[in-house]
Amino acid sequence: MNAHVRNADPKQLIKGATGDWEIVIGLEIHAQVTSQAKLFSGSSTAFGAEPNSHVSLVDAAMPGMLPVINEECVRQAVRTGLGLNAQINRRSVFDRKNYFYPDLPQGYQISQYKSPIVGEGEIIVDVSPTEQIKVGIERLHLEQDAGKSLHDQHPTMSFVDLNRSGVALMEIVSRPDLRSADEAKAYVTKLRTILRYLGTCDGDMEKGNLRADVNVSVRKPGAPFGTRCEIKNVNSIRFIGQAVDVEARRQIGILEDGGKIDQETRLYDPSKGETRSMRSKEEAHDYRYFPDPDLLPLEFDQALVDALKVALPELPDAKKARLIAQYGLSPYDAAVLVAEREQADFFEAVAKGRDGKAAANWVINELFGRLNKEGRDVTASPMSADQLGGIVDLIGEGVISGKIAKDLFEIVWNEGGDPRALVEARGMKQVTDTGAIEKVIDEVIAANPDKVEQAKAKPSMAGWFVGQVMKASGGKANPAAVNEILARKLGLS
């Protein structure tokens, strides 16, 4: 299992009283499959319905009901496996994982244990726009979600809502390849992006559609792996990072005091900033896994895999490489754009037939900056790609200056309209008429004879004149023309 063990970068090590410690992290991600119906029944998966309104006899585990596999969930798992560069197992087995919980009426979860639908894979994780690591995927299997116990509806009773019971989940298990909280966060971010591109999970962590079990251990650099603790159901990327750091420090404290780590399941409490024990770690044999006798092994042809493969969308790594090559973007800009498919699409609509770098600059710095400020995403942008492209064109043609373009951006954002027509109607055109610019410059020079003397001694003073002229022209004077004429008039050229 440890054939390709990564070593942490020295800067990732934690200083303890007894020397440096390395954090080792492996993640199990539960991702809700995007599908209309549940894994083994026809009930709807829609979120937010009345409690117990999407529950078939199968989901409620009525005696004698038989599960029937939902083929769309199988296709989604295969698509995901392909997106993770993973081995697709054309034969897999559903097992019963037995345990009691009030929100699990079957008394077992149908899952996959020894023969999962997807085997080993690998993803490239962007720790920064220019620094990547490879993280191994151990497996991906399909399983049922449980229902939900409601403890806050009645003073003396608990209720159960089975709407989620039987919804398909993909459990995606990483190798213990991650070495810091930042790497763990970057891994989940990348995995979420890939799932969203594939359309196999919406990645909505607030709704619980993507959640992580975070396995953490510590070791002295080069030593064998330590005993891990598993922090269950962490539901935000920020909390994943916090849980890793808090748990690693707890373990280091115990080890440095001469204690040992008990393998256990813990919970992260963000309000207290601590993890606490939930239960000692259960072993696989505690669950009495056995093949579900109601389901045949899941088998499909290579033709299905091939058909799904050719229909995959362009994935984030390929898109990033293409944006860099095709539009001359920096890795940083390309990384920002590909984080969401819709962002990259918007950029490409603006960049089509225009200068790629200028388009990226306006899309990322102005548009995304503004959207962020208002808490909107690009699909809710009040400004279309055509409108923003129109502004980029006007700058490129020298019709408006970069400064006026920002004013124009505000107008289009707030009022809508065609940028070119607005520039025309509101007299925002840049003044390139050198006669007019000269006139303004002469006035500024005449009004400031002392400054003229200073500028002759100290040419960097010319910048002050540029500012005055721009101000006097309402920001509309062409800056290149201003610079040139000023230098001549001040005798600096």
Residue 475 binds what, of ligand ADP, Mg ion, none (CB under 5 to 8 Å, by partner type)?
Answer: none
**Binding range to Mg ion, per CB under 5 A, among 27-35, 137-145, 288-296, 472-480:** 27-35
- Smallest distance, Å, CB 102 to Mg ion? 21
Q: Cα(235)–Cα(30) distance, rounded to whole angstroms?
A: 10
| Number of Cβ within a 10 Å radius of residue 325 | 10
Are 135 and 37 within 8 A, CB to CB?
no
Instruction: Tell whether residue 116 is a contact of ligand ADP (CB under 6 A).
Output: no
Q: Quick one: how many helices (H) and strands (E) in the chain?
A: 16, 16
Two tokens at 103? Answer: 């929100």
Place of tokens 């088998």: 299
Q: Cα(87)–Cα(78) distance, rounded to whole angstroms?
A: 9
Instruction: Out of 230, 245, 294, 407, name the contact with ligand ADP by CB under 6 A.
Output: 230
- Smallest distance, Å, CB 171 to Mg ion? 8
Question: Closer CB to Mg ion, residue 28 or residue 182?
Answer: 28
For residues 95, 69, 80, 312, the Cα torsion angle rounded to the nearest 10 degrees is 160
Question: Closer CB to Mg ion, residue 54 or residue 139?
Answer: 139
Question: Closer CB to ligand ADP, residue 24 or residue 360?
Answer: 24
- Smallest distance, Å, CB 15 to Mg ion? 30
The full 3-state SS of 256-294, as one line of letters, equals HCCCCCCCEEEEEECCCCEEEEEEECCCHHHHCCEECCC
- Smallest distance, Å, CB 290 to ligand ADP? 17
Q: Which residue is nearest to Mg ion (CB)?
A: 28
Ranges within 198-217 binding ligand ADP (CB under 6 A): 215-217
Instruction: Tell whether residue 295 is a contact of ligand ADP (CB under 6 A).
Output: no
Measuring CA to CA, which residue among 455, 458, 424 is closest to residue 441?
Answer: 455
Instruction: Tell whether residue 351 is a contact of ligand ADP (CB under 6 A).
Output: no
Q: Cα(236)–Cα(407) distance, rounded to whole angstroms?
A: 37
- Smallest distance, Å, CB 199 to ligand ADP? 25
Two tokens at 359? Answer: 């388009």
- Smallest distance, Å, CB 26 to ligand ADP? 2
Q: Cα(230)–Cα(242) distance, rounded to whole angstroms?
A: 14
Instruction: Tell whether residue 120 is a contact of ligand ADP (CB under 6 A).
Output: no
Ranges within 241-270 binding ligand ADP (CB under 6 A): none
Residue 367 binds what, of Mg ion, ligand ADP, none (CB under 5 to 8 Å, by partner type)?
Answer: none
Residue 393 binds what, of ligand ADP, Mg ion, none (CB under 5 to 8 Å, by partner type)?
Answer: none
- Smallest distance, Å, CB 83 to ligand ADP? 19
- Smallest distance, Å, CB 206 to Mg ion? 23
- Smallest distance, Å, CB 315 to ligand ADP? 22
Residue 89 binds what, of Mg ion, ligand ADP, none (CB under 5 to 8 Å, by partner type)?
Answer: none
Residue 116 binds what, of Mg ion, ligand ADP, none (CB under 5 to 8 Å, by partner type)?
Answer: none
Burial (CB count within 10 angstroms: exposed 0-12, middle 13-18, buried 19+), residue 388 = buried
- Smallest distance, Å, CB 173 to ligand ADP? 5
Mask for 16-55, x = binds ligand ADP (CB under 6 A): --------xxxxx---------------------------
Q: Which residue is nearest to ligand ADP (CB)?
A: 26
User: In Å, how far are 32, 37, 47, 124, 211 from 204, measured between CA atoms?
Assistant: 9, 18, 11, 21, 9
Question: Closer CB to Mg ion, residue 47 or residue 287?
Answer: 287
| Number of Cβ within a 10 Å radius of residue 379 | 11
Question: Going by C-beta distance under 8 Å and a sequence separation of 6 or more, which residues neighbour residue 115?
Answer: 89, 91, 92, 93, 297
Are 276 and 88 within 8 A, CB to CB?
no
Instruction: Tell whether residue 422 is a contact of ligand ADP (CB under 6 A).
Output: no
Residue 111 binds what, of ligand ADP, Mg ion, none (CB under 5 to 8 Å, by partner type)?
Answer: none
Pairing of strands 210-219, 168-174: unpaired
Ranges within 139-178 binding ligand ADP (CB under 6 A): 173-176
C-alpha atoms less than 13 angstroms from C-alpha of 352 in its C-beta half-sphere: 9
- Smallest distance, Å, CB 296 to ligand ADP? 24
The full 3-state SS of 1-38, as one line of letters, equals CCCCCCCCCHHHCEEECCEEEEEEEEEEEEEECCCCEC
Residue 466 binds what, of ligand ADP, Mg ion, none (CB under 5 to 8 Å, by partner type)?
Answer: none
Sign of CA dihedral 101, 213, 87, 82: positive
Binding site for ligand ADP (CB under 6 A): 24-28, 173-176, 215-217, 225-226, 228, 230
Residues forming the site for Mg ion (CB under 5 A): 28
